[in-house]
Amino acid sequence: MPKFEYAPAPESRSIVGIRESYGLFIDGKFTDTVDGRAFKTISPATEEVLAEVTEAGPEDVDRAVKAARKAYEPWSALAPAQRSKYLFRIARIIQERARELAVLESLDNGKPIRESRDVDIPLVAAHFFYYAGWADKLEHAGFGPAPKPLGVAGQVIPWNFPLLMLAWKIAPALACGNTVVLKPAETTPLTALAFAEICQQADLPPGVVNIVTGAGDTGRALVEHPGIDKVAFTGSTEVGKQIARSCAASGRKNTLELGGKAANIVFDDAAIDQAVEGIVNGIFFNQGHVCCAGSRLLVQESVYDEVLTSLKRRLGSLRLGDPLDKNTDVGAINSAAQLAKIRELSDIGEAEGAERWSPPCELPAHGFWFPPTIFTGVSQAHRIAREEIFGPVLSVLTFRTPAEAIEKANNTPYGLSAGVWTEKGSLILRMAAQLRAGVVWANTFNRFDPASPFGGYKESGYGREGGRHGLEAYLDV
Amino acid sequence: MSDPSTRVQVRKTYKLYIGGAFPRSESGRSYVVTDHKERFAANAALASRKDARDAVTAARKAFPGWSGATAYNRGQVLYRVAELMEGRRAQFVAEVRAAEGLSAAKAEAAVDAAIDRWVWYAGWSDKIAQVRGSSNPVAGPYFNFSLPEPTGVVAVLAPAESSLLGFVAVVAPAIVSGSTVVVLASEPHPLPAVTLSEVLATSDVPGGVVNVLTGRVAEVAPWLASHMDVNAIDLTGADDALRVELAIAATDNLKRVFRPHTPDDWTATPPLNRMLAYLETKTVWHPAAT
Amino acid sequence: MPRVCAAQGIQPVTVTATTDLRGFLHGLPGVDRVGAEGRAAMLASRSIKTTAKQWALDMAISMIDLTTLEGQDTPGKVRALCAKARHPDPADLTAPHVAAVCVYPDLAHIAASELKGSGIHVASVATAFPSGRTSLDVKLADVRYAISSGADEVDMVIDRGAFLAGDYAKVHDEIVAVKEACGETHLKVILETGELLTYDNVRRASWLAMLAGADFIKTSTGKVTPAATLPVTMIMLEAVRDYRDAHGRQVGVKPAGGIRTAKDAIRYLVLVNETAGDDWLDPDWFRLGASSLLNDLLMQRTKMATGHYSGPDYFTLD
């Protein structure tokens, strides 16, 4: 029994008003479905039903695209300085409603309130602020003197950072003068629907933003709709390839942000305590539901014992439990389906001969939970070293030299991110130059900023979100 | 005979804005400001060389904090200034009309443009480095990058005409990247600038980031131009003859001098030059090798 | 004279010169400032409520080294402080007493006599506190004076000038000499982290002090800003944890100066809990050097008991 037991410190749910049921947000209003049906969204921590949401049918999607098309002319013709002010308003309202949005996100997604409060929601507001400022400065963005928008963008986002992924898609699209139809993930629709309310509060012209909730079929109907000019997708590599195929057939512009199996490389001259924090942050932040997660630890053999001892000790202080408890570090797995996938791959890891370890962890009786898990004795040939698990599971491999670390890090069809831990500057820069990854974190991990371009090499997708580079996806260049 | 119950207005005292506070001139002097019909409008503080010196000290003191803030934070603060200006829109419109004799429509347009100009500059804070900086592909195993950095304390002579929009158009670009400012407001029409100081004082702009002096350009400007702890100077508000004198005085410490060659159209979206004028470029080399 | 030290997981090595000490200390893993401060900030966001807060408030009170180190200190002042130490809250005798009273050596005898039989330690600063800028002989005489006056704990300062000039042997040897003069008396070594400035220096100075025999490592004299901070204390807690793993000897940690509110104090306890662990959550192994902190802890304690906010009039000034 530890001396210092933290008592429950629950964040109150009373700040959030969840409706019993939600329609679709089309042309500035919430509207009933014409050819869809209802489905439920639950809290993955307790399995309680949070609300009834609409699965949009093909006609609903068509209505939404038409609304976006109708709104496109006046929106793109609006003086850019005036367009920017709508985005500034949205950013401000997000800040005003920050606490409410954080609680809602944690309820619907399962991630700890500390993360939605301190990471997700502040970044959401920041993305809108950043891109608001680009709306009237596009001639300085390096895409020519008068770059034009593309038209109507169809956007499909995942469940791991629901509102943040929405911000990454909508903010640059609107700033460049496009209008959007966005489909949030089926397990996490609620903050997107709250965002629809925020659009109304900001008096955003109707039709500029449309939210159609639903699952795979709705997403397919959207990305294949002939009325859209641009597809943006974040999700699994498997679905991303399907979308790429369909866009290849139609010639439609698309950007994809897909999976990863990032190597987090720790050298013997690393600042060990901070490297351990970085490893933990890299794979256990957001329950490992992170495309750029540092899911492969590559540790230099000479410091293997030291790092693993320190890491295991550190995992002992991770707190798993109620996402709304302010002291929770590790929340719920987002869905039963995802939990099954994580379990399956972990069992495969054991079967392949890797050694499995978790700190002692009490899992709540209801909801979807998986303890932070480390596999040691992993080699490149193991499936758990190659396949994205998308859960709190770390595969540990070793290396002897920087060249070997590069080889192993790059030996994957993915290429989203990588981590490098060393106190030596020249080594960092050389590693960064050689790693085939769209984001390299040196002596840190999982850091995001609207000014910083994010995206992958190889099968982790193409296109960049964030920064000046992030405008390209939404301009006719 | 006027109605005995007619309300008597409480008229504002127009002071300097230095280091986040509103002092009178240390010289105790003031000068008469008239409206566009030559009627008495107010006694504005008549800044002395010592006020200018104190303002430079305040600006220097505020520089590490302001330049050390994140670009995001500076952008937020500038946007907040715009929010508070919008709240005082009617007050600004009245002051600009009285000062410059503009029609209601033109005064509103000028005030709206001033507010929108703050918003435009607010959005530059976290982008100018991406437009102005670069990674440089040198021939060798080095990582080489160039970063824009704020120059330090900037002295600004605001335009004589365009009492609010012109003032905003010369001040905002100087602070957006982290430099701090001592600005001498329009000599004939200083009052809107002083009201703007009240907005700055209540909008999260740290004290000393913007310091506003009112008074005689010919008296105060030379002290700013020759001050060895001022890093740059904007000569906009000086006439041609004075500009030459000031530009020469500025060479003692090689100040960066911004000297507009054509008259400014304050209503047009500006080029980047007023921001770039106050940015130094730092280039860093580092080997990249295992 | 050979000094023995060991890095983690490596066989003990005999070092005989400042260059060897330098090799060892500079071979310790570095500290990344941004990462360390990020971790400390995350720990500071822990929410400690209800029963956890009650426990933490009482533990914090029992860890305080109630301090007065002013040129204007008098016997009267020290007597009042000692009375407060014994009974922090006259309105609530269930409040625990503090761990120690900390004074200058010439007033240690007053504290010793006032605290006799209370279980509260008498800590005296020594070695020309706070600057430490005098000869070793004078410093040792200062230590002996403090002990003969009744101090059972000595808080010494390291020679920061020598440390920053790289003369690690000098710093080391002084601590060894002071420890020898202390005999059984408990020695706290003040690093003055506000003058060491980098976290790498704090880590190195922590190890240096422990290798030389410190019983406690302490952040600050309280006369220099910054004094104690959460990240600095975290680095020192990591050091004592790693040192015990390597050598089997437990050393205590004392942040001092700038800890004013109950909220601060609770943050320090969270830090101990999640860095060094249970074994250090004890007044024998963790102290808080503070003075005004005590009343804020008492105010919070009262608020938890009564349910409403209290005011300064209800707590004694010593």
Query: Contact C281/A270, CB-based, under 8 Å?
Result: no
Of C218, C242, C264, C296, the catalytic one is: C218
C2 has a pLDDT exceeding 60: no
C-alpha C300/C-alpha A420 separation (Å) is: 45
User: What confidence category does residue C313 fall into, taking pLDDT thresholds of 50, 70 and 90?
Assistant: confident
The nearest alpha carbon in chain C to A327 belongs to: C46
The nearest alpha carbon in chain A to C51 belongs to: A7
- Whether the CB of C239 is below 8 Å from some CB of chain A: the reply is no
Q: What domains appear along chain B, each with residue ranges and CATH number? A: 30-263+270-287 (3.40.605.10)
Task: Output the pLDDT for position C90.
Answer: 85
Of A291, A292, A388, A472, the catalytic one is: A291
Chains that touch A (3 or more CB pairs under 8 A): B, C
User: What confidence category does residue C316 fall into, taking pLDDT thresholds of 50, 70 and 90?
Assistant: confident
Q: How far lies A173's CA from each of A159, A212, B81, B124, B239, in Å?
A: 20, 17, 27, 19, 46
Pairing of strands C64-67, C13-15: unpaired
**Of A446, A457, A454, A475, which Cα lies nearest the Cα of A119?**
A446
Is CATH 3.40.605.10 correct for A24-258+457-472? yes
Of C139, C254, C264, C296, the catalytic one is: C254
Task: Output the pLDDT for position C6.
Answer: 46
Give the tens place of pLDDT for each residue, A254-296.
999 999 999 999 999 999 999 999 999 999 999 999 999 999 9
Query: Contact B122/A425, CB-based, under 8 Å?
Result: no
C-alpha B131/C-alpha C96 separation (Å) is: 61
Question: How many C-beta atoms lie closer than 10 Å to residue A73's C-beta?
Answer: 11
Query: Contact C9/A326, CB-based, under 8 Å?
Result: no
Encoded tokens for C74:
């008098």
C-alpha A337/C-alpha C259 separation (Å) is: 49
Q: Are the C-beta atoms of residues A328 and A322 closer than 8 Å to each other?
A: yes
C17 has a pLDDT exceeding 80: no
**CA angle A349-A355-A361, nearest 5°?**
95
Q: Are the C-beta atoms of residues C14 and C4 closer than 8 Å to each other?
A: yes
Chain A residues with CB-CB distance to B124 below 8 A = 133, 137
Domain residue ranges of chain A, discontinuous segments joined by + = 24-258+457-472, 263-442
- Whether the CB of C269 is below 8 Å from some CB of chain A: the reply is yes
Superfamily of domain A263-442: Aldehyde Dehydrogenase; Chain A, domain 2 (3.40.309.10)
Q: Are the C-beta atoms of residues C101 and C142 closer than 8 Å to each other?
A: no
Give the tens place of pLDDT for each residue, C191-200.
999 999 999 9
The domain of C23 spans 3-314
C-alpha C115/C-alpha C111 separation (Å) is: 6
Chain B residues with CB-CB distance to A403 below 8 A = 290
**Structural domain count, chain C:** 1
Give the tens place of pLDDT for each residue, C37-77.
999 999 999 999 999 999 999 999 999 999 999 999 999 99
Of A257, A387, A465, A472, the catalytic one is: A257
C-alpha torsion sign, points C136, C137, C138, C140 = positive
The nearest alpha carbon in chain C to A318 belongs to: C274
CATH number, domain of C35, equals 3.20.20.70
Query: Phi/psi at B16 (nearest 5 deg)?
Result: -80, 165
Chains that touch B (3 or more CB pairs under 8 A): A
Q: Whole-model pTM above 0.80?
A: yes
Task: Output the pLDDT for position C3.
Answer: 46
Chain-centre distance for alpha carbon B219: 19
The nearest alpha carbon in chain A to B271 belongs to: A140
Encoded tokens for B9:
């207005």
Pairing of strands B30-34, B40-45: antiparallel
Task: Output the pLDDT for position B1.
Answer: 59
Question: How many C-beta atoms lie closer than 10 Å to residue C157's C-beta?
Answer: 25
Look at the block and give the residue holding tokens 């279980």: C119
Query: Contact C30/A2, CB-based, under 8 Å?
Result: no
C-alpha A209/C-alpha C93 separation (Å) is: 64
Give the tens place of pLDDT for each residue, C128-185.
999 999 999 999 999 999 999 999 999 999 999 999 999 999 999 999 999 999 999 9
Distance of residue C59 Cα from the nearest chain A Cα, in angstroms: 10
User: What confidence category does residue C238 fall into, taking pLDDT thresholds of 50, 70 and 90?
Assistant: very high
**DSSP H helical segments within A135-252, as ranges?**
162-175, 190-201, 216-223, 237-250
Query: Phi/psi at C167 (nearest 5 deg)?
Result: -85, 70
Chain-centre distance for alpha carbon A305: 33
- Whether the CB of C36 is below 8 Å from some CB of chain A: the reply is yes
Residues 6+ apart with CB under 8 A from C215: C186, C187, C188, C251, C252
Query: Phi/psi at A234 (nearest 5 deg)?
Result: -125, 125
C235 burial level (CB within 10 Å; 0-12, 13-18, 19+):
buried
C-alpha C81/C-alpha C75 separation (Å) is: 10
**DSSP H helical segments within A360-444, as ranges?**
383-386, 402-410, 425-434
Query: Contact A5/C51, CB-based, under 8 Å?
Result: yes
Q: In terms of residues, how long is chain B?
A: 290
Chain A residues with CB-CB distance to B290 below 8 A = 401-403, 426-427, 430-431
Give the tens place of pLDDT for each residue, B161-181.
999 999 999 999 999 999 999
Is A472 annotated as catalytic? no
Look at the block and give the residue holding tokens 């100081």: B197
Residues within 8 A of A (CB atoms), C 58-97 only: 59
Query: Contact C274/A317, CB-based, under 8 Å?
Result: yes
The mean pLDDT value for B203-226 works out to: 98
User: What confidence category does residue C11 fall into, taking pLDDT thresholds of 50, 70 and 90?
Assistant: very low
Q: In 3-state terms, chain C is what percent helix, strand and coil (to 5)?
A: 50, 15, 40
Crossing angle of helices A216-223 and A58-77, in 10° steps, is: 50
Burial B125-161 (b: 16+ CB within 10 A, else e): bbbbbbbbbeeeeeeeebbeeeebbbbbbbbbbbbbb
C-alpha A139/C-alpha C302 separation (Å) is: 62
C-alpha A462/C-alpha C210 separation (Å) is: 53
User: What confidence category does residue C7 fall into, taking pLDDT thresholds of 50, 70 and 90?
Assistant: very low
* Helix (H) or strand (E) segment spanning residue A125: helix A121-134
Encoded tokens for A71:
């709104």
Size of interface A-C (CB pairs under 8 A): 75
Query: Contact A431/B290, CB-based, under 8 Å?
Result: yes
C14 has a pLDDT exceeding 90: no
Look at the block and give the residue holding tokens 């949070």: A50
- Whether the CB of A129 is below 8 Å from some CB of chain B: the reply is yes
Query: Contact A129/B269, CB-based, under 8 Å?
Result: no
Size of interface A-B (CB pairs under 8 A): 76
Is C179 annotated as catalytic? no
* Helix (H) or strand (E) segment spanning residue A101: helix A98-109
Task: Output the pLDDT for position C15.
Answer: 52
Pairing of strands A439-442, C216-218: unpaired
Residues 6+ apart with CB under 8 A from C227: C193, C194, C219, C220, C221, C255, C256, C257, C258
First-last CA distance in chain A? 62
**Of B119, B236, C253, which Cα lies nearest the Cα of A134?**
B119
**DSSP H helical segments within C9-97, as ranges?**
18-26, 33-44, 50-62, 75-86
C-alpha A65/C-alpha A180 separation (Å) is: 8
C-alpha A278/C-alpha A444 separation (Å) is: 6
The maximal CA–CA distance of chain B, rounded, in angstroms, is 92
Residues of chain A with pLDDT under 50: none
- Whether the CB of C244 is below 8 Å from some CB of chain A: the reply is no
Distance of residue B10 Cα from the nearest chain A Cα, in angstroms: 35
Q: What is the mean pLDDT of chain A?
A: 97
Give the tens place of pLDDT for each residue, A327-350.
999 999 999 999 999 999 999 999
**Of B59, B62, B53, B65, which Cα lies nearest the Cα of B26?**
B53
Give the tens place of pLDDT for each residue, B48-74.
999 999 999 999 999 999 999 999 999
Q: Quick one: three-class SS letters along chain B?
A: CCCCCCCCCCCCCECCEECCECCCCCCCCEEEEECCCCCEEEEEECCCHHHHHHHHHHHHHHHHHHHHCCHHHHHHHHHHHHHHHHHCHHHHHHHHHHHHCCCHHHHHHHHHHHHHHHHHHHCCCCCHHHHHCEECCCCCCEEEEEEEEECCEEEEECCCCCCCHHHHHHHHHHHCCCCEEEEECCCCCCHHHHHHHHHHHCCCCCCCCEEEECCCHHHHHHHHHHCCCCCEEECCCCCHHHHHHHHHHHHHHCCEEECCCCCCCCCCCCCCHHHHCCEEEEEEEEECCC
Distance of residue A351 Cα from the nearest chain C Cα, in angstroms: 32
Task: Output the pLDDT for position A160.
Answer: 96
Lowest mean pLDDT among C11-20, C201-210, C222-231: C11-20
* Helix (H) or strand (E) segment spanning residue C244: helix C230-247
C-alpha C221/C-alpha C213 separation (Å) is: 20
Query: Contact C281/A9, CB-based, under 8 Å?
Result: no
Pairing of strands B256-258, B232-234: parallel
